[in-house]
A and B are shown apart, each in its own frame.
Chain A
């Protein structure tokens, strides 16, 4: 069943998009991430122009993170103050990212940059997560209790000035790394079309030592705003948000997420993290192969001034 996308200006299969949304929604519900890092590459594999895949991916992420943040708000596992500070940095990062996006697009190097960024980010995060979770799995097998958060143990981040208290997270920390993290996530969000959950979650846990139960809700909360801002700016400067495409992905995604959450509850934390790490690495590998393998078409056409 075909459907014509008004902005991408191509005809695509509606069932493929719904299935894609559902599959990513399932995984995002299972792992507690927005799923943008999966949807954008999938759209690119499905021949959606990368510029549109990125902007539309950001739009789709809003739906899944909004629905997730709502349930965390109900359970009280959402630190609004921490989210707000992250968000302030996020807006700065997004604005800069969209400027870089437009620049790269006019140079014809956008696709390459997106792919490189994906390979590097996903490769790093996936690698670190796999290393950590395998160690945790080993520790559980040998009998020692897994310790994610070593209380009382501080790193260099906790010695920075401008400290602020975040009650819900039971945290007293400098705002500099929090804002810095926000800027980085905002930048990545606008260029990669991701919410940034797959970077935010480990960063909050390992760098800022935020309690794990607050991390996902807070990260989802800030992702809603970062990706909403990214969507708005992409829509008004690049006109690359395809609302029809985004809607189909959202519908599939929201439905898939519900089953993902149930599947996720049957697995242990470190098993989940190991699986997520493998998934992230698989996407990175697939994109890396595309960078190095001889492309089927050496030539590509584009409208001047556009990717």
Chain B
């Protein structure tokens, strides 16, 4: 009995929804993105990279597409981690880390690509609602009691540092339509892009109004050797230290042999 009733409800819902939707927008567009790989490996030669994400619009209105009134914003967001922001102040002439503020769940990296400059796509309020763009991510302060002006100051500093180091980046014009439905987005991976699960999201706007969102996951990890070294250092610290010491002694000894004059 139960499945049948659910199905009936669904049909009823469709029946009421379709005429309403049809009255407002003749087309309910969709957006899909695909990654050529679900994992990126950082090798010894890694010094930053451009990641290409392909995507397609579903049921796009050809006329709107021709007039270029569809806009796409693609975001690649790194794993969230807590961060401490510290401010240096002058004490007796010396610059010392004095005040600090902790934030929970700050994306380590945040790269955005868009079809056009952000202010041309939609209203600032709409970005805020979607938490879209590095200026609109909510950074939760670790100490909720802290004065709002302090929080605002440190949040601003956090974004500035992230932008300055290239971990937060914007690539205006980084999304290009290849055909009426197909687009290609290029987002930047900083040289110190964090390892972990990254989330790629695409936002579709039509005439400046948000329509739909789609997401995919991407694993960024160190390649075999780098990963092995990192794991060893963190899981078997003492053994790793022992290896480092041995390597140093071996290098010193080899140096003696290679350059020996006596």
Contact = CB atoms under 8 A, between A and B. Distances in A.
B192 interface: yes
Contacts of A74: 262
A3 B244 contact: no
B48 A11 contact: yes
A21 to B, nearest CB: 10
A302 B244 CA distance: 26
A281 interface: no
B255 A258 contact: yes
B82 A236 contact: no
B51 interface: no
A297 B86 CA distance: 10
A301 to B, nearest CB: 5
B143 interface: no
A66 interface: yes
A304 B102 contact: yes
A4 B237 contact: no
A291 B94 CA distance: 5
Contact of B46 (A11, A112, A255): A11
B249 interface: yes
Interface string B222-262: 10011101100110011011111101110111111011001
A57 B141 CA distance: 36
A300 B44 contact: no
A236 B238 contact: yes
Nearest to A296: B164
B252 A71 contact: no
A2 B238 contact: no
A44 interface: no
15 contacts: A6-B222, A7-B230, A59-B245, A67-B253, A71-B262, A109-B97, A232-B241, A235-B237, A235-B240, A257-B255, A292-B94, A294-B95, A297-B161, A300-B97, A301-B161
Interface of A: 2-4, 6-7, 9-11, 59-60, 62-68, 70-71, 74, 108-109, 111-112, 116, 224, 228, 231-237, 239, 241, 243-244, 246-247, 250-251, 254-255, 257-258, 291-292, 294-295, 297-304
Given A4-B42, A7-B233, 15 more contacts: A59-B244, A66-B248, A66-B253, A108-B100, A224-B249, A228-B248, A231-B244, A237-B237, A239-B237, A243-B247, A299-B87, A299-B154, A299-B160, A300-B86, A301-B84
